[in-house]
Every structure is written in C-alpha cells, then in structure tokens.
Amino acid sequence: MLTAGLKLLTISFGLAPLEKVYHFVYMKEKISFGSLLYLIPGILFLVSGIAKLFPVYSFELLLVNQELSSWELVPWVSRGVILAELILGVGFFLGGYYRKFYLPASMLMLLVFNIHLIYSMLTGTGGSNCGCFGELIPMTPIEALIKNLLLMALLVYLWFRTAEHRANIYYHLLPPVILAVIIFTVFPVTQYQTPDSNKENVTRPGPPPDRPLDPVVEENITPEKTAIESVVKDEPAPAKPEKSVDDLPKRTSGFAKYKNFNSFGTTDLDSGSKLVALLSLDCDHCMETARAYITLKKEGAKLPPFFALFFGEEQQVEPFFELAGGTLPWMIIPVEEFFPLLTQSPPRVVFMKNGNILKDWDNSVNFKSEFTNLKW
C-alpha cells in the first residue's frame, strides 16, 4: 500500500523526491522478502547447533549409542558437527558465497543426516529422539527426515534464484574462528572414562556355578523369578537343594569403584543385592524414579537397598530429595564417568546380585511397576 501510494503521487504530481523514496521503499520490501528465505535455513542451523550444546554430553551419548563415534573421539566429533551447523547458520545471515559454499555445504550435510536417519529407522536404532535439536525439541527420526527434506527443497529453490554477488571474504573467514574459540573454551573437551568392565560383562550374569544347573523357564516369569534346580539323572536319590541366585559367583561390575555414599557410609555394590541408579539432578524423570522407590519403601515394600549415582552439583541434591519425598544413599560422580555408564538418557537403574546385573532398566519403563514386581 505504501509503495502504491508513493507511486501514485509521483506520477500525478511529478515529485522527483518522492520517486526516489518510492524506489528506496520498493527495493527494501523486495530485499526483506528475499532475505527471509535465507533466514529460514540460517535460523534452523543455528537453533540445531546451539540446542546440541545444552547439554553437549547428551548429544555425545547419542552419537556413541548410534555407533557414530567412540567415547575417545566423540568430544571432537560432537563439537565438529555443532561448529559446522553454526558456521552454516551464520553464513546465511552474512550473505554472499551462497552458490559457492553455503548452499552446497548445507545440502551435503542434510544428505548425510538423511542417510543416517534412514539407516537408523531400518535398523531400529533411531530411538524416540534423533537428537537433531538436542534435548530442546525432541524429534523422531521420521519427523527429522521430513524436516530435512523440506529444508532441502528450499535450498534447491534458493540455488536457482540466487545470483552470486561479491562479498568480503574476510567477513566469512572470521566467524568460524570466533565460533571455534567460543565452543572449545566454554565447552572444553571431556576425556571420558569408560567402565573397567565392558558392556557385555556388565550386563550379563556371571559364569555358571561348579555343578550342572537347569534353569526353570516358564511363561511370564522374569529372570529374578527363575528357580535354579539341580537334576540328578539315573539315581533314585533325592535331588540336591536348590541353589539361590544369591549364590551367583561374584564378579566385578562397572559400578565397583563407587563405595562411599553420603547418608550411608561405605558399601560394596558388587556384594549381595543392590539397586544402582544413574540419575541427573535436573531431570524430572530421574526425580520421579527416586520418588517411586521412596514411596514404596514407606508403604512397607521389601526392596533391595537403593544407591544413587548423581550427575550435577551438590547444591542440587537437597531440592532433589525434597521433591522425591525422602533421602537415599548418594554420591556425585564426574561427568566423564557418568555418561559412559548410560545406555540412553538418564535415568538408568540396574538390579545387581554379587556384581551380576540381572535387570537393566532405562527411561522408557514405569519404575514403580518394575520395583513392585521385583522379586529378590
């Protein structure tokens, strides 16, 4: 409306100054609309990169779980991916070098992401959150794939409508340097410490005892309900007494090093029956897991002792237990030890006997139900 009015006044009265104003406003409107198209991929890349940083440990756990990196390399891989997304995002705001760099680099990155998303869907390893926007905006692999395809369609359109223009290359070389310094300074590389026992040794029961055992397997009976019997063949003598699962040979789990717990004292997690939980102090689901156990104990349920391994700061412990409705033996462990012990996002709770992990729950279960049905 504004440009139309200015144009009418210019034609009617021959006002040269208004003609200049008309051209200025008209061109600004065209520039604003065109710039908006470039802002869309710029914003998406910036949000995606920034979201992965809070916390970066969760993104690194995702990369390791999806076998895209090892714990030794993942701090560099994660920051490399995040840095690439931020550089592309900033580049779309700067203008210039669209056809020479930003558009083809964006297409290549999205193509790699899509190949991985399709592979994760076919193999069932994608989980409920692909990690495209970190923990900020959970997206399933199929949602992320659709988002990427729409963004690729926009990039193709921008490629055909873009007329490359000159730009000062130094304005495009400076942001990557600044972003790299910020990321590696504010989020320094973490040297993760993997458990002493590998995942297979941690999650499988130990070797059988020194006499033949015949596990009784029945429908709807979980491992902790399984009775271990000895069968003596070709002899009329009575069978030997059943051997309890508590008699499983002791082994060293990945939790063996953690011994000193606040409000409890010293214990050996690999001795007897224990529930060991990996909980984040700013995670609502983790707090609900602790609340479920505390509530059941107050109601008189017979449950194994519960030991919490926390990720967070000590000042967060008291508010956590206030919301949980009670206290538990706890200790805070370093981030470089906490995340390699996870299988998914926290919480993770394991039921151990003599260091043998017989139940291993992740954040997808109803812990109150699991604790209620636990026989030990």
Taking only the tens place, the pLDDT of each residue in 230-259 is 333 444 444 444 445 556 898 999 999 999
Q: For residue 54, which phi and psi values (nearest 5 degrees)?
A: -125, 90
Quickly tell me which residue has 């109601």 as its tokens: 299
Quickly tell me which residue has 């790299």 as its tokens: 180
Residue 350 near residue 357, CB atoms below 8 Å: yes
pLDDT band at 195 (very low <50, low <70, confident <90, very high): confident
pLDDT in tens, 78-127: 999 999 999 999 999 998 899 999 999 999 999 999 999 999 999 888 78
Per-residue pLDDT, 34: 64
Residues with Cβ < 8 Å from 113, sequence gap 6 or more?
A: 132, 144, 148
Quickly tell me which residue has 């069978």 as its tokens: 239
Q: What share of the chain is helix, strand, coil (3-state, %, to 5)?
A: 50, 10, 40
Token pair of 48 as six digits: 């995606």
Judged against a pLDDT cut of 50, whether residue 201 lies above it is answered with no
What SS3 state is found at 275?
A: strand
Q: Peptide bond preceding 75: is omega within 30 degrees of 0, i.e. cis? A: no
CB atoms closer than 10 angstroms to residue 171? 13
* CA-based radius of gyration for the chain: 29
Indicate the helix (H) or strand (E) that contains 47. Answer: helix 16-51
Instruction: Identify the sign of the CA torsion 44, 163, 173, 106.
Output: positive
Percentage of the chain modeled with pLDDT above 90: 65
Q: Which residue in 282, 280, 277 sits closest to 294, CA to CA?
A: 277
Per-residue pLDDT, 280: 97
Q: Which residue in 349, 362, 336, 29 sits closest to 192, CA to CA?
A: 336
Measured CA to CA, the distance from residue 284 to residue 288 in angstroms comes to 6
Domains of the chain in start order, with CATH, are 2-186 (no CATH), 199-372 (3.40.30.10)
Per-residue pLDDT, 244: 53
Measured CA to CA, the distance from residue 300 to residue 58 in angstroms comes to 36
Q: Which residue in 311, 310, 346 sits closest to 327, CA to CA?
A: 310
Token pair of 149 as six digits: 């395809």
Measured CA to CA, the distance from residue 231 to residue 240 in angstroms comes to 8
How big is the CA angle at 317 (ends 315 and 318), to the nearest 5 degrees? 90
Regarding pTM above 0.75, the answer is: yes
Measured CA to CA, the distance from residue 94 to residue 107 in angstroms comes to 18
Token pair of 117 as six digits: 């998303």
Residues with Cβ < 8 Å from 325, sequence gap 6 or more?
A: 291, 294, 295, 298
Q: What is the DSSP letter of 364?
A: T
What SS3 state is found at 279?
A: strand
pLDDT in tens, 282-310: 999 999 999 999 999 999 999 999 999 99
